[in-house]
Structure 1
Amino acid sequence: MRTVNVDEVIGRARVNRFHWFLIICCTFMIMCDGYDLFMYGTIVPSLMKDWGISPVVAGSLNSYALVGMMIGALALGPAADRWGRKNVIVISCAVFCVFTGLAGFAGGPTAFAVLRFIAGLGLGGIMPNTVALVTEYAPASVRSTLVAVMFSGHPFGGVVASLIGMWLVPTAGWQAVLWIGAIPLLVLPLFVWWVPDSLQFYSQKQRTDKLAAVLARVSGETYDAQDSYVLTRPVERGFPVIRLFGEGRGVSTVLFWVSFFMCLLTMYGLTTWLPKLMQTAGFAVASSLGSLLALNVGAIVGAVVGSRIADWVGAKPVLVVSFLIAAASLVAMSQRPSIGLLYVLLFVAGATTTGTQITSNAYVSQYYPTEMRSTGIGWALGVGRLGGILGPTVGGLLVAGHLSLTADFLAFALPSVVSAVAMALVQQRYAVWRQHSSHPAV
């Protein structure tokens, strides 16, 4: 019998077929979140027209789903650290798909809000657990990059939502956009069959047969169920949320929450109201929906490029600079540029808001030890969802107030500056890679 250090095997592994299949499966799950986020922006003008609701009411309808996401992230992140990330992801996806599809049959704002809230509960459990799962299995040298590649499914889901909205809303109505949200149910069995659970979870359950099989897939080497498997950090007991503030990480935990709150306020506010703001500024409907497309394409490029640079030079400076560029691009958009320059600025804004948030997710997931990783990213996203809840309402107030385009975009630029300051103050000396590894993960 030999002793196998699980973390060392994972850290030194080369990216192979196992990693890419894991990325593909988790990327598809993340697309659900991206589709949901940007889908509402494509249907909100139709909802306002069909139900005769005000911009403030329309903004609050999206906030119900975001409240559900917040509760789901806060509850299901810690739950996954105890009961398995894979199990929580599967249940979360099923809940989201069923209730998103049912929302397409809602006959009014009240039923719509209730169904969207329940769908949000499921959706809130997907993001923190897919991030934690990919982070756990990714080799150390490309960890941020692989998480970002997986997370590019979020803006890609937005691209899909934008294209579907441009195609289906005029021909089949807003309901069809929601019905398509139930399609991931068809591929859920593939995820159940192929994706392994957390190595930490297998270790807790003393499933050495599972550990041997998964490590063989990760490394291409042979392992036996009779081997002794150890992780760098032992499983700790106690309420995991409280432990986010232990070992000197308390200040950085709060700073992560502030940054996520501000970034998601901008993301959800823009994606909900950008088409309406563009129409108010005099752009055609097609151009207005195309603005979401430019935003999402930029997010995909920004996520992959930004995270690759983060693997080279460290995530912290990349995040700070990107958030400042986001603020500058939003201020530039307020000056009513030409349509061509507007799309360029939207591309940059997408790269440095949604794209930078993706890099932030990878950064935060690596800051905490494995046994509290889902809790760390789950609570950062959960608190961040409070900003996401506020964003659509802020946008609704801006539209209802008939303010200038300059005021509208400045309102979304300021939070990016706050995010930059928060990330600049993060104390990296307390990150887990500084305490337990000679190789900085970011």
Structure 2
Amino acid sequence: MTREIDVSRLIDDARFNRFHWMVLFWCALIIIFDGYDLVIYGVVLPVLMKEWALSPLQAGALGSYALFGMMAGALVFGPLSDKIGRKKAITICVVLFSGFTVLNGFARNPTEFGLCRFIAGLGIGGVMPNVVALMSEYAPRKIRSTLVAIMFSGYSVGGMLSAGLGMVLLPTWGWQSVFFVAGVPLLLLPIIMKFLPESVGFLIRQGRIDEAQHMLQRVEPSHRPQRGQMLKMPALKADSAPVLELFRDGRALRTLMLWLAFFCCLLMVYALNSWLPKLMSKAGYGLGSSLSFLLVLNFGAIFGAVGGGRLGDRFNLPRVLAVFFALAALSIGLLGFNSPSWVLYSLIAVAGATTIGSQILLYACGAQFYGLAIRSTGLGWASGIGRNGAIVGPVLGGALMSLGVPLSANFLAFAAPGLVACFAMLAFAWTGSRQPERPLTVSSALA
């Protein structure tokens, strides 16, 4: 008698075990390297502007090169991983973002620097949707948001490392030294690829059923493969295009609202990461103090991501995100006004928790919203569309600085997208409560 196994349900109901710890560790490590390579530009920006005599507009444009690459990387490597597998896609992305970040240290002028940042951005943008999709695929349902948030907190750890090493290395070894540190992932890549698991959904679609069964045993040790067993998993219709599936079965409005929230959130994140040290330096703080603000920003993000993930698992994640975005708008808006140091640091920590933290939670929200078969495509497109906001952020900061507007106007401009994102997530939550998603399924037989 043939027995059918619902792969998604087996993973959803699995108890957290050593295998989940392993996936969490390696995915988080990749995100730490990713975050380091991304935040590094804001760390060296004040030095580069002085050494290469860059205007604020030129500096903003130079910062956007990596973000153009990230947008292209997310759009390409998200769907591509559904064809070549998560491990291959992640390997390619790590080689790109680590290798070309190291080459940034050898750049002799803004043109070479920008080219290396663009190619590194392809890897940075491409790896994010893939590790989120992989973690979400193997995480038990009850703690999925929390695990994705913990994993993605590696982004903030990487940002803190970038700011911390910048404070230590820049005065003595120059701006090039912080880029050379980015070569560490290349040394660790063989180990990462040995222990990082492949997507079970990809294995089933490729007909590698024995490997899929072995992976399911690691997810749920009580699972015992049997001859004639059927593995059932969500999948696309054979004649459908993955991107079009994002708009079918009641997903259209929520997909658009998710894209809008990604756009606004990434605009705030990259505006702050790129310009916070420079703005604080302009306000009279030394370079070391300015970098400490960047350190606090990313430190706050860890608490926002993990705390928001726990709240999202307990309550409604889109509504939690709406509250976070409202707090982001308030805290960023208040940064431009004179405040005691402890208040200023507190506001920056809250801003980090509700911007970078919200970016992390948005990935968790998208991973829950989209089914297994379109998860990488959904996250890749949401991230790719959102990268337009990431591109606008540094350019907006450079334009405002060129105009010489007051410090408060800079932060109010960075805060406004938070209100838009708040309304977008409220619309996402409202639409979801009225029109639940209808999943698609297909079965694969055990050979």
The TM-score with structure 2 as length reference comes to 0.95
Deviation for aligned residue 1:289: 0.5
Find 1:342's aligned residue among 336, 344, 360: 344
CA distance in 1, matches of 2:393, 2:435: 30
Q: CA deviation at 1:9?
A: 1.2
Letter in 2 for 1:5: D
The within-5 A match list for 1:112-123 is 112-123=113-124
Which residue is equivalent to 2:210? 209
Q: Is the 8 A contact 2:11 2:138 kept in 1?
A: yes
Deviations, residues 202-250 of structure 1 (Å, cap 9, x unaligned)? 1111111111111111111243374524234244333211111111111
Counterpart Cα distance in 2 of 1:108 and 1:284: 26
CA distance in 2, matches of 1:349, 1:235: 39
User: In the alignment, residue 379 of structure 2 is paired with which amino acid?
Assistant: I
Q: What SS does the corresponding residue of 1:231 show, helix, strand or coil?
A: strand
Give me the whole-angstrom Cα distance separating, in 2, the residues matched to 1:42 and 1:75: 28
Whether the 8 Å contact between 1:211 and 1:225 is mirrored in structure 2 is no
Q: Counterpart of 2:16 in 1: which secondary structure?
A: coil
Q: How does 1:282-297 map to 2 (within 5 A)?
A: 282-297=284-299
Once the two structures are overlaid, the 10-residue window that deviates more, 158-167 or 277-286, is 277-286
Displacement of 1:435 in angstroms is 3.7
Q: Distance in 1 between matches of 2:345 and 2:227?
A: 59
Identify the residue that residue 13 of structure 2 maps to in structure 1: 12
Cα shift at 1:62: 1.3
Structure 2 match to 1:304:
306
| Aligned ranges 1:119-138 → 2 under 5 Å | 119-138=120-139
Distance 1:243 1:335 in 2: 46
Q: 1:370 aligns with which of 354, 369, 372?
A: 372
Q: SS at 2:5's partner residue?
A: strand
- Distance in 2 (alpha carbons) for counterparts of 1:188 and 1:227: 38
Measure how far apart 1:396 and its partner are. 0.9
Shift of 1:8: 1.7
* Alignment match of 1:320 (pick from 319, 322, 330): 322
Deviations 1:88-142 (A, max 9, x none): 0111111111111111101000111111111111111100000001111000110
Q: Is the 8 A contact 2:34 2:97 kept in 1?
A: no
Corresponding residue for residue 200 of structure 2: 199
Letter in 2 for 1:394: L
For residues 430 and 91 of structure 1, the distance between their equivalents in structure 2, rounded to whole angstroms, comes to 41
1:224 aligns with 225
Rounded to whole Å, the distance in 2 between the matches of 1:373 and 1:355 is: 21
Q: Are 1:213 and 1:223, in contact at CA under 8 Å, matched by a contact in 2?
A: no
Offset at 1:295?
0.5
State the partner residue of 2:407.
Answer: 405
Q: How large is the RMSD of aligned CA atoms in angstroms?
A: 1.5
Aligned-residue offset at 1:16: 0.8
> 1:208–1:226: 8 Å Cα contact kept in structure 2?
no
Structure 1, residues 290-345: CA drift from partner, whole Å, max 9, x if none? 00111011000100001101000110110001100111111221212111110011
Q: Which runs of 4+ in 1 moved over 6 A?
A: none
Percent of pairs with identical residues: 46
Q: Secondary structure in 2 aligned to 1:335?
A: coil
Q: Is the 8 A contact 2:249 2:438 kept in 1?
A: no
- Which of 425, 429, 432 aligns to 1:428? It is 432
Q: Distance in 2 between matches of 1:218 and 1:288?
A: 45
Contact 1:37–1:271 (8 Å) recurs in 2: no
* Mapped contact 2:37–2:98 kept (Cα < 8 A): no
Q: Is the 8 A contact 1:236 1:371 kept in 2?
A: no
For residues 130 and 227 of structure 1, do their structure 2 counterparts lie closer, same or farther at Cα, with a shift above 3 Å needed? farther
Listed one character per residue, the Cα deviations across residues 338-391 of structure 1 (whole Å, up to 9, x for unaligned) are 111100110011001110111111001110111110010111110111110111
Provide the rounded CA distance (Å) in 1 between the counterparts of 2:98 and 2:360. Answer: 23
State the AA in 2 paired with 1:371: A
- Residue 105 of structure 2 corresponds to residue 104 of structure 1: yes
> Is the contact between residue 63 and residue 392 of structure 1 (CA under 8 Å) also seen in structure 2?
yes
Measure the CA separation in 2 of the matches of 1:407 and 1:104.
34
Going from structure 1 to structure 2, the CA distance change for 1:98 and 1:363 (only over 3 Å counts) comes to same
Whether 1:252 aligns to 2:254 is yes
Is contact 1:7–1:232 with CA below 8 Å preserved after alignment?
A: yes
Counterpart of 1:125 in 2: which secondary structure?
Answer: helix
Aligned partners of 1:170, 1:82: CA distance in 2, in Å? 46
DSSP 3-state at the match of 2:234: coil
Q: 1:395 Cα deviation (Å)?
A: 0.8
Amino acid in the other structure paired with 1:136: E
Residue type of the alignment partner of 1:414 = A
Deviation, 1:194, is 1.1
- 2:174 matched to 1:173? yes
Given that 1:247 and 1:430 are in contact with CA atoms closer than 8 Å, whether structure 2 keeps it comes out as no
Offset of residue 404 of structure 1: 0.8
Q: Which amino acid aligns with 1:73?
A: A
- For structure 2, the residue ranges without an aligned partner over 5 or more in a row are 441-447
Q: CA–CA distance in 1 between the matches of 2:389 and 2:209? A: 42
> 1:259-274 to 2 correspondence within 5 Å?
259-274=261-276
Distance 1:78 1:139 in 2: 24
The aligned amino acid for 1:304 is V
State yes or no: 1:39 paired with 2:40. Answer: yes
TM-score (norm 1): 0.96
Query: Which residue does the alignment assign to 1:440?
Result: none
Deviation for aligned residue 1:430: 7.8
Q: CA deviation at 1:181?
A: 1.3
* Counterpart amino acid of residue 251 in structure 2: R
1:231-283 residue CA offsets vs partner (Å, 9 max, x unmatched): 34244333211111111111111111111111101110111010010011112
Shift, 1:3, TM fit: 2.9
Q: Is the 2:24–2:147 Cα contact (8 Å) retained in structure 1?
A: yes
Displacement of 1:431 after TM fit? 7.9
Partner of 2:90: 89
Q: Tell me the distance in 2 between the aligned counterparts of 1:285 and 1:51.
A: 17
Residue in 1 that maps onto 2:386:
384
